[in-house]
Amino acid sequence: MVKDLIIGDGLQKELAASRKVIETLKTKSITQDSISFNLKSQVLNLNSILIVKDDQFKVQEKLSKDLQLALKKEKFKNKLFSIGTPVLILGALLLK
């Protein structure tokens, strides 16, 4: 009978320890799920940032090309003006 009581006490302690381990594992599982969810959210956010930045880069690239084209046109106009002005002045002098 004493043996049974000792065994019963040991089993009670073992059961209590097992319950603590189970609770700890549940807590760890919840924490890991939370971390996993947060990491997935971060990945989604970073992907959306990459998409926005890619779009911004495309717009900037188009604006740069447009500006280069406008600069070329302006340079051509200035060149024509610099060549045309002396010709007009010379022509006006010859017509007098």
pLDDT-derived band at 43 (thresholds 50, 70, 90) equals: very high
Element of type H or E holding 88: helix 2-95
Q: In angstroms, rounded to a whole number, what is the distance separating the alpha carbons of residues 48 and 54?
A: 10
Q: What is the pLDDT of residue 4?
A: 65
pLDDT of 65 strictly over 70: yes
Using the predicted structure, report yes or no on whether residue 56 has a pLDDT greater than 80: yes
Query: What one-letter code names the amino acid at 76?
Result: F
54 pLDDT tier (thresholds 50, 70, 90): very high
**Stretch 45-55: mean pLDDT, rounded?**
98
Q: Per-residue pLDDT averaged across 41-52, rounded?
A: 98
